[in-house]
Amino acid sequence: MTKATIAPPDTAKNDGHQINGAHPQDAPIPLDKPIESMDLQEIIDLYDQLDDKNSESAQTLRQDFLTLIKSHPARLNQREIASFLVQQIDPEEIAQLEWDSPNHMLQFSESLYQSRIEDEQFATQLNHHASSLLRHALYHYEQKGEMEKMFRLMRLAPSYLLRQNEELSRLQYRANTYEIKRVRRSRRFLYGYLFLQILLVLFVFPFLFINAENGKLQRQVEELADVNIGDDGYQLLSYSEGLYWSVITASSIGYGDITPTTTTGRIIAAVLGTMGVVTVGILAGLVLDWISPRRIG
């Protein structure tokens, strides 16, 4: 926060004498304590004593007010403090503050909406401030290419703000375009997974299960790893039986008429069953998306 002493606005002097017509309010304003230890109400009272609201002194007081209110946004519930912010502080001055993150800006914007609305003009000015904060927060994410965060922030924003501002409408369009592309990428991945799952269920897992149960796969593992698994009770299965077992296991039905008796076969069954549960969930989501009506806006 600024520590400089507030100078009088446009003090008119000539050889040590005040020029005729100068206002008595133009005299230096005494400060009993430094600005950084002042309260918001004290800053407002000091600001009201200034004649020139565009002077350097007024700008300094506004910056000090913003720095304090940024750390204590709950004070906006007080009528006089909220009125000062809306009427005396330009929205760009708020947005140019050093915010911790765009979410911090949004939290401050939410505090604005909790202020007591005095009249229609006050509400319009408040919306202008909130719109400016939202726009700068979205700019921050757009410049850094963080489109996912930008989309999430856009979902939290009031919809009427997005319709009132053309620039916010443009940012909303960019966020929606990103979301459409993200969904398409995700669907391509899911379709690829489903195609792979079909190949595994129809061809790979049936042969793995058959070879595991008749002992062929186990003997190959024992030779490669130089270990003795020690399973017995092998069963000779045909491809049709292996395919039947694979489909029943992947669909999470599991009648139990064909069950693995070897350690290797049980491991294969566990892997296939887990993949089947995931696949059923994906299929249910896709079917629900296909039959659900879509909305624009």
**pLDDT tens readout for residues 100-128:** 777 777 778 777 777 766 677 777 787 78
Indicate whether 172 and 223 sit together in one domain. Answer: no
Percent of the chain residues topping a pLDDT of 90: 13
- Arithmetic mean of pLDDT, 88-107: 78
- Arithmetic mean of pLDDT, 248-260: 88
Domain that holds residue 121: 13-181
Q: Say what the pLDDT of residue 273 is.
A: 93
SS3 state at 231: coil
Residues 6+ apart with CB under 8 A from 122: 83, 86
Indicate whether 189 and 243 sit together in one domain. Answer: yes
Indicate whether 228 and 243 sit together in one domain. Answer: yes
Q: How many domains does the chain have?
A: 2
Domain end position, chosen among 181, 207, 227: 181
How would residue 205 be classed by pLDDT, with cut points 50, 70 and 90? very high
Residue 102 inside a domain? The answer is yes
Indicate whether 255 and 282 sit together in one domain. Answer: yes
The CATH number of residue 202's host domain is 1.10.287.70
Asked if residues 193 and 186 have their Cβ atoms less than 8 Å apart, the reply is no
Q: Say what the pLDDT of residue 37 is.
A: 59
Indicate whether 58 and 162 sit together in one domain. Answer: yes
pTM of the model: 0.58
- Arithmetic mean of pLDDT, 36-64: 83
Indicate whether 161 and 254 sit together in one domain. Answer: no
Q: Say what the pLDDT of residue 267 is.
A: 92
Amino acid at 148: E
Question: Rounded CA gap, 61 and 44, in Å?
Answer: 8
Which spans in the chain are helix H? 40-48, 56-71, 79-88, 91-95, 102-113, 120-144, 147-156, 159-164, 166-199, 205-213, 216-225, 239-250, 263-291
Domain end position, chosen among 150, 181, 212: 181
How would residue 86 be classed by pLDDT, with cut points 50, 70 and 90? confident
Asked if residues 6 and 43 have their Cβ atoms less than 8 Å apart, the reply is no
Domain end position, chosen among 181, 199, 230: 181
pLDDT over 80 (residue 194):
yes
Residue 193 inside a domain? The answer is yes
Residue 3 inside a domain? The answer is no
Indicate whether 33 and 175 sit together in one domain. Answer: yes
Q: Say what the pLDDT of residue 107 is.
A: 76
